[in-house]
Amino acid sequence: MWEVILGGVLVVVLMIYTLTGGADFGGGVWDLFASGPRADRQRTTIGKAIGPIWEANHVWLIILIVLLFVCFPKAFAILSTALHLPLTLCLFGIVLRGSAFVFRKYDPDNREAWRRVFAIASLVTPMMLGMTLAATSGGYIRIDQQGRWMHQDGYLATWLQPFPFMAGLLAVALCALLAAVYLLGETDDADLREDFRRRALTAAVAVGILAFATLGVALSNAPHFGWRLSGSAWAIPFQLLAGATALSVFACLWLRRYAAAKFAVGAQAVVMLSGWALAQFPYLIVPGVSIADAAASEKILAMTFWILAGGMPLLLPSFFYLYRVFSFSASR
Amino acid sequence: MTDLLAARLQMAMSLMFHILFAVAGIAMPLLMVLAEARWLKTRDEIYRTLAKRWCRGTAILFAVGAVTGTVLSFELGLLWPGFMEFAGPVIGLPFAMEGFAFFLEAIFLGIYLYGWDGKVPERVHFVAGILVCICGTLSGIFVVTANAWMNTPAGFDIEQGMAVNIDPWAAMWNPASLAQTSHMTIAAFQSVAFAVAAIHAAVLLRNPGATAHRKALAIALPVAVVTALIQPLSGDFSAKVVAESQPIKLAALEGQWETERGAPLRIGGWPDEEAEETRYAIEIPYLLSILAFNDPQAEVAGLKTVPPEDRPPVAITHFSFQIMVGCGMVMMLTALITLFLWWRGAKGPPQEWMTRHPWFLKLLIANGPLGLIAVEAGWIATEVGRQPWVIQGVMRTKDAVTQVPNIWMSLVSFTLLYLFLGIIVTILLKRQVFASLPGDGPNTDPEVD
Ligand code: HDD
Ligand code: HEM
Ligand code: HEM
């Protein structure tokens, strides 16, 4: 019982991280692809938007890791062994992204170079995170009788596969989409808005195509996961819902309803991650480690839950205040 | 190089890098808030400029602290999956609470750093600074309780190699927690206050008229003096806890091979692990027994009570401990000298006593790195002194290490990455510090973003 609740909490934290930290990565992606006569102003808008908030947003990732090792220690031990390489690459991305972002600000002489590092790291990190996540679903991490990972499989076969690769691309596209839509609310310059709107529409198309492609690849490369996502009882309603949210993002962008677009894109991300979680359920690592296999004792799980629940009344208003103070509308 | 050695080195390197930023994250907010409080009270623009200038340095340090801390939370699994599988649920409580402290710290630091000049109301800005200070200190305390648990594990039973009947609260408040958290918290404020004092003293030595730097020194010095005077007391308390709960670590810290009553305190010396004796040390009779147990005749256990494979590397432990205590003594003397000069200068114009004697400024400069050195040395003593255990008496480091091969590659890449970051941060901080403050030439302040 508690293990399912905490599994759900993990998914919710992942969703929040995607909607907040993911969008910060997306901002970096658009810094990389800034172009046209307003390239510099695009970059300035991006920098202003994520400057005050990215460190707070980033903590959701740390919460995710802590929850994983407190509540599901066995899964944590297996994942950090079998996925040592993508996680290490991810860490390099995180370190370079964060430090290059401040260096860019305080080292004007080399701004161009730091910008590049920041932008490229913003692309690599969500790619690796997406691959890591997909690697837990693909069935590549095989578990032996004693519940240990079969390390003779090696450290590449666990993640360097077509399905995680597609999922990584999908993650990058989703981050870029979130960022482009959020950025629409960070400026009132009509031309700049058109820039971001075009980018948002491009990203929305990319997310749509990649989502289908990833599912297609999954059917052969991650059959268990792929079948759950396309053949189980909830699959059809889920696909319809995902399609509907994706179309509503398009519609809002097309009609220039930017406030509504923000909600729609959030809903789209949440629906996509819910689909992933449903297809994964009840496994943490498909197909060898279920939520129940890896869970710590009931007491620990319950305690962790109540700590989280107890901290929220402190945390949420603080976040709300942070976002409000630095929202674009407040600065006008 | 074995994977175990590479993993240990990588963990040590990552932690020693992170701690430098962590102490800044704990203590810089206090200095900034003190400067801002002076500004709110006196409306002297210099204090505001000073707080803002410190903010810029802190922004750099904090960002690097956050990302290197993230590396650590992953590394616990990447390098020590066996340890985490066992310990994760036991020490989860402090880590979860630390997560909240990080959140609030990052949120309020965002408000503090970016909320100058009326973006948020003056009072809110000041309160945000205080909250950053509290949350930074709390996050340090929480993570150190997790480490204290590794030294004096509590709050669980073992069944078939797994921890059961876990009592997270008892694990968090284990016998070493109070000593370690208080010692570490003081160390954070002390090391940063001395480093900041040294930097401003360096400017004052060149340009004694730089009012802003004098005011900065007047904020940092009291913090430095207070912490330097209480830290040896806190360290003595730590030593007593170690003597009680980790006798072999105490023996290694002191280079004590034989079990004896009325053990001497050794200053310096060379612990020879082959011959099992400590040579060339200055021995002060009975002092170790007194310091560790408040009794000149108390028995102090020696390293020889356990077989060689259960002993930590004695030389490293002993040297690092000596370095920490040595630095602590020098800083304590410096604090006493500062008090004396302050008392004598009380009749003169305020703050004038600080720059009257160039030798005093030079003394402060020389003290600058000592706090940070003591922090690093103290941690090496604590962690190496616990070997061969990762959880004292429960799990050996070699049983905790990952089975991933070629860890040396990971070690080399992280070392190069951190070396690179370290160099950049040093250059940028230097530029921030020596960029002029008012009262010291034209104020060039390129506004970015
Ligand atoms: C500014 C830094 C600083 C200074 C001046 C001192 N220490 Fe320290 N010491 C630390 C910074 C530190 C530390 C880095 O923060 C440690 C490592 C683990 C811990 O809790 O604190 C530490 C650990 C540590 C330990 C080991 C605790 C353990 O293993 O659990 C002992 C016995 C002492 N200290 C004793 C002293 C004494 C007798 C000092 C006399 C001057 C002293 N320290 C000064
Ligand atoms: C004595 C040891 C440590 C102390 C005193 C300490 C303290 C701190 C402090 C004050 C911060 C705030 C950020 C900053 O100021 O730069 C921080 C950041 C962080 N630390 Fe440490 N830390 C220690 C060791 C560790 C260890 C062992 C881990 C991981 C297991 C860790 C994980 C983190 C993480 C994840 C962050 C980033 C939080 C953020 O994004 O705001 N720290 N640490
Ligand atoms: C930030 C201050 C710290 C420093 C400078 C530090 C230093 C070190 C060093 C030098 C080692 C290697 C010891 C050896 O293998 O000989 C080590 C190991 C380790 N430390 Fe710490 N430590 C710090 C704080 C912490 C904290 C707060 C935790 C846990 C919460 C922690 C967890 C570990 C672990 C798991 C190992 C590896 C196992 C072992 O070698 O015993 N450390 N640390």
The mean pLDDT value of chain B amounts to 90
C-alpha to C-alpha distance for B363 and A33, rounded to whole angstroms: 52
- Write the pLDDT tens digit of every residue in A102-118: 998 888 888 889 999 99
Q: At what angle do helices A111-137 and A73-82 cross, to 10 degrees?
A: 120
**Which residue in B has a C-alpha nearest to residue A41's C-alpha?**
B449
Q: Is B66 close to A98, i.e. CB distance below 8 A?
A: yes
pLDDT of residue B447: 38
Instruction: Map residue B271 onto helix, strand or coil.
Output: strand
Kindly report, residue by residue over B384-403, the tens digit of the pLDDT: 999 899 999 899 999 999 98
Q: What ligand is nearest to the CA atom of residue B373?
A: 1
Q: Do B71 and A94 touch (CB under 8 A)?
A: yes
Q: Give the distance from residue B325's alpha carbon to the nearest chain A alpha carbon, in angstroms.
A: 34
To the nearest whole Å, the CA of B400 is away from the closest chain A CA by 10
| Nearest residue by C-alpha to atom 20 in ligand 2 | B69
Residues with CB under 6 A from ligand 2: A 55, 58-59, 62; B 18-19, 21-22, 25-26, 62, 65-66, 69-70, 72-73, 76, 102, 105-106, 136, 139-140, 143-144, 184
Say if CB B401 and CB B4 are below 8 A apart.
yes
- Which among A325, A43, A324 is positioned nearest to A187, based on CA atoms? A43
Q: Could you please report the per-residue DSSP string of B274-317?
A: TTTEEES-EEETTHHHHHHHS-TT-EE--GGGS-GGGS--HHHH
Compute φ and ψ for A256, nearest 5 degrees. Answer: 60, 35
Q: Taking 90 as the threshold, does the pLDDT of residue B235 lie above it?
A: yes
Question: Which tokens belong to A201?
Answer: 């529409």
pLDDT at site A240 = 92
- pLDDT more than 70, % of chain B: 97
Give A297's pLDDT tier (boundaries 50, 70, 90).
Answer: confident
How far, in Å, from the CA of B235 to the mean position of ligand 1?
5
Q: Which of the pair, A171 or B269, is modelled with greater confidence?
A: A171
- B293 to A190, B201, B286, B325: CA distances (angstroms): 75, 40, 11, 18
The pLDDT tens digits of the residues spanning B286-331 come to 889 999 998 888 899 989 899 988 999 999 999 999 999 999 999 9
**CB within 8 Å: A70 and B413:** no
Q: What type of residue sits at position B6? A: A
Interface test with A, best of B79, B98, B100, B172 (most A CBs within 10 A): B100
Over residues B340-346, the mean pLDDT reads: 88
Residue-wise pLDDT tens digits, A128-151: 999 999 999 988 888 888 878 888
Is the pLDDT confidence value at A60 over 90?
A: yes
- Whether residue A5 is predicted with pLDDT greater than 80 in this model: the reply is yes
**Both tokens assigned to B434:** 């020596």
pLDDT at A38: 85
Residue A176 to residue A199: CA distance in whole angstroms: 8
Confidence of residue B443 (pLDDT cuts 50, 70, 90): very low
In this prediction, residues B16-24 reach a mean pLDDT of 96
* pLDDT score of B448: 35
Structure tokens at A124: 């690599």
Residues 75 through 114 of chain B touching chain A, CB cutoff 8 Å: 76-78, 81-82, 84-86, 88-89, 92-93, 95-100, 102-104, 106-111, 113-114
For residue B129, what pLDDT is reported?
94
In whole angstroms, give the CA distance from residue A142 to residue B118.
57
pLDDT at position B436 is: 59
> What is the torsional sign of CA A321, A326, A327, A331?
positive
The mean pLDDT of chain A is: 90
Residue A323 has pLDDT above 90, yes or no: no
**Assigned token pair, B56:** 């810029």
CB contact under 8 A, A76 and B82: no
Question: Is the pLDDT confidence value at B444 over 50?
Answer: no
Ligand 3 centroid, distance to A229 Cα (angstroms)? 43
B439 pLDDT higher than 60: no
With CA atoms as reference, the chain A residue closest to B403 would be: A81
* pLDDT tens-digit map of A149-170: 888 778 888 888 999 999 999 9
Query: How far, CA to CA in Å, does A190 sit from each of A29, A185, A203, A256, B55?
Result: 22, 11, 20, 11, 34
Q: Look at B63 and A88 and tell me if their CB atoms are within 8 Å.
A: no
- Chain B residues 417-436 with a CB less than 8 Å from chain A: 417, 421, 424, 427-428, 431-432
Domain boundaries of chain A, sorted by first residue: 2-331
Residue B164 reports pLDDT greater than 90? no
Per-residue pLDDT at B445 exceeds 60:
no
Rounded distance from Cα A33 to ligand 2 centre (Å): 33
- Is the pLDDT at B433 greater than 80? The verdict is no
Contact B239, B294 (CB under 8 A): no
Tell me: pLDDT of B245 over 50: yes
Q: Which residues of A touch B92 (CB under 8 A)?
A: 66, 69-71, 296, 300, 304
Of the residues B191, B382, B387, which should be mutated to test ligand 1's pocket, given the most ligand atoms within 8 Å of the CB? B382
pLDDT of residue A264: 93
Question: How many Cβ contacts (< 8 angstroms) between chains A and B?
Answer: 191
Q: What is the mean pLDDT of residues B91-104?
A: 91
- Furthest-apart CA pair in chain A: how many Å? 62
- Listed ranges B24-38, B44-58, B265-279, B344-358; the one with the highest mean pLDDT: B24-38
Q: Which of A220-224, B277-281, B365-369, B432-436 has the lowest mean pLDDT?
A: B432-436
Instruction: Give the tens place of pLDDT for each residue, A176-226.
Output: 999 999 998 888 888 888 889 999 999 999 999 999 999 999 999 988 888
Indicate which of B20, B85, B160, B403 best probes the interface with A, i.e. most A CBs within 10 Å of its own CB.
B85
* pLDDT value at B345 more than 90: no
User: Are β-strands B395-396 and B389-391 bridged in parallel, bridged antiparallel, or unpaired?
Assistant: antiparallel
Q: What is the pLDDT of residue B117?
A: 80
Q: What is the DSSP letter of A152?
A: G
Give me the mean pLDDT over the B59-71 stretch: 92
Instruction: Please report the pLDDT score of residue B277 as a whole number.
Output: 86
Q: Which helix (H) or strand (E) holds A318?
A: helix A298-326
Contact A305, A162 (CB under 8 A): no
Highest mean pLDDT among A31-40, B91-100, B177-186: B177-186
Q: Which of B19, B64, B70, B139 to mutate to test the pocket of ligand 2 (most atoms within 8 A of CB)?
A: B139
Q: Look at residue A73 and tell me whether its pLDDT is greater than 80.
A: yes
Rounded CA separation B401/B81 (Å): 7
